[in-house]
Amino acid sequence: MSDDVLFLKESFLVKPIEVASILGVSLKQVYVLISLGSIEVVNMSPGARRPTYRVKSASVLRFLGEEVGSEAYTDYMEVGQTR
C-alpha cells in the first residue's frame, strides 16, 4: 500500500493541494473534479466570500478506485482537456 493511500486512510479531510499531489494533477484540475462532483468537499467557511474547501479523503479513495472507463473519469478527462 502506498504512502498516499495510508495518508488518506488516516485523515478525514485533506487540502485540495494535497489531493493534487496524490493524484499527480494540478490544483486547477482538482477544482474541476470538485465542480463535477467527482470528489466531495466540505466548505470550512460557509457564508464567506471565498470558500475554503477540505476534501473528504474517502471520496479521493473512491475516485482512485474508479475504473478508467467510468463516467466520472470520462467527464474529468473531457473537461480537464478543454480548460
SS3 letters across the chain: CCHHHHHHHHCCEECHHHHHHHHCCCHHHHHHHHHHCCCCEEECCCCCCCCCEEEEHHHHHHHHHCCCCCHHHHHHHHHHHHC
Dump pLDDT digits (tens) for 24-61.
899 999 999 999 998 999 999 988 899 999 998 888 88
> Which residue would you say has higher pLDDT here, 7 or 12?
12
Total domain count, the chain = 1
* pLDDT interval class at 14 (50, 70, 90): very high
As a whole number of angstroms, the distance between CA 75 and CA 83 comes to 13
| Boundaries of domain holding 52 | 3-82
